[in-house]
Amino acid sequence: MNKISIFSKFIVLLILALTTLFVIEVIDIFVMTGKEPIALIGMVTAIVTGEFSLLYLIYTQRKRTEREEIRQTKRGSHDIL
Protein backbone atom coordinates (compact mmCIF):
# COMPACT_ATOMS: atom_id res chain seq x y z
CA MET A 1 0.00 0.00 0.00
CA ASN A 2 1.37 3.40 -0.88
CA LYS A 3 1.44 6.49 1.33
CA ILE A 4 -1.38 8.25 -0.56
CA SER A 5 -3.72 5.31 -0.10
CA ILE A 6 -2.96 5.08 3.62
CA PHE A 7 -3.44 8.83 4.02
CA SER A 8 -6.78 8.73 2.17
CA LYS A 9 -8.04 5.91 4.36
CA PHE A 10 -6.92 7.82 7.45
CA ILE A 11 -8.84 10.91 6.29
CA VAL A 12 -12.00 8.86 5.64
CA LEU A 13 -11.79 7.22 9.07
CA LEU A 14 -11.16 10.60 10.69
CA ILE A 15 -14.20 12.13 8.98
CA LEU A 16 -16.38 9.19 10.03
CA ALA A 17 -15.15 9.36 13.63
CA LEU A 18 -15.72 13.11 13.86
CA THR A 19 -19.16 12.76 12.28
CA THR A 20 -20.03 10.10 14.85
CA LEU A 21 -18.93 12.42 17.66
CA PHE A 22 -20.99 15.20 16.10
CA VAL A 23 -24.11 13.02 16.01
CA ILE A 24 -23.62 12.13 19.68
CA GLU A 25 -23.33 15.83 20.57
CA VAL A 26 -26.43 16.71 18.51
CA ILE A 27 -28.40 14.06 20.37
CA ASP A 28 -27.08 15.50 23.64
CA ILE A 29 -28.16 19.02 22.62
CA PHE A 30 -31.56 17.72 21.60
CA VAL A 31 -32.05 15.94 24.93
CA MET A 32 -31.00 19.02 26.92
CA THR A 33 -32.90 21.70 24.98
CA GLY A 34 -35.63 19.78 23.16
CA LYS A 35 -34.62 21.60 19.96
CA GLU A 36 -32.73 20.30 17.00
CA PRO A 37 -29.78 22.46 15.78
CA ILE A 38 -30.94 22.41 12.14
CA ALA A 39 -28.47 25.00 10.80
CA LEU A 40 -25.52 23.23 12.40
CA ILE A 41 -26.63 19.86 11.05
CA GLY A 42 -27.01 21.32 7.55
CA MET A 43 -23.58 22.92 7.67
CA VAL A 44 -21.80 19.76 8.87
CA THR A 45 -23.64 17.64 6.31
CA ALA A 46 -22.52 19.99 3.52
CA ILE A 47 -18.91 19.96 4.73
CA VAL A 48 -18.77 16.16 5.01
CA THR A 49 -20.37 15.76 1.58
CA GLY A 50 -17.85 18.18 0.12
CA GLU A 51 -14.92 16.38 1.71
CA PHE A 52 -16.01 12.99 0.40
CA SER A 53 -16.67 14.49 -3.04
CA LEU A 54 -13.15 15.91 -3.16
CA LEU A 55 -11.65 12.62 -2.01
CA TYR A 56 -13.57 10.80 -4.74
CA LEU A 57 -12.41 13.32 -7.34
CA ILE A 58 -8.80 12.84 -6.26
CA TYR A 59 -9.25 9.05 -6.36
CA THR A 60 -10.71 9.05 -9.88
CA GLN A 61 -8.01 11.42 -11.17
CA ARG A 62 -5.30 9.18 -9.72
CA LYS A 63 -6.83 6.06 -11.29
CA ARG A 64 -7.17 7.84 -14.65
CA THR A 65 -3.52 8.91 -14.49
CA GLU A 66 -2.43 5.36 -13.65
CA ARG A 67 -4.41 3.97 -16.61
CA GLU A 68 -2.86 6.56 -18.93
CA GLU A 69 0.63 5.63 -17.72
CA ILE A 70 -0.08 1.94 -18.31
CA ARG A 71 -1.34 2.68 -21.83
CA GLN A 72 1.72 4.78 -22.58
CA THR A 73 3.99 2.00 -21.30
CA LYS A 74 2.21 -0.59 -23.45
CA ARG A 75 2.38 1.64 -26.53
CA GLY A 76 6.07 2.27 -25.91
CA SER A 77 6.83 -1.46 -25.68
CA HIS A 78 4.94 -2.15 -28.94
CA ASP A 79 6.81 0.60 -30.76
CA ILE A 80 10.14 -1.03 -29.93
CA LEU A 81 9.09 -4.33 -31.49
Identify whether the C-beta of residue 48 lies closer than 8 Å to the C-beta of residue 19. yes
The reported pLDDT for the residue numbered 48 is 93
Nearest of 15, 21, 27, 24 to residue 55 by alpha carbon:
15
Residue 12, pLDDT above cutoff 80: yes
pLDDT (tens digit per residue) in 23-77 = 999 999 999 999 989 999 999 999 999 999 998 998 899 889 988 888 888 877 6
Indicate the residue type of 19: T
Domain ranges of the chain: 3-80
What is the phi-psi region of residue 47: left when phi exceeds 0, alpha when psi lies from -120 to 50, beta otherwise?
Answer: alpha
Length of the chain: 81
Give CA angle at 37 (33, 39), nearest 5°: 160
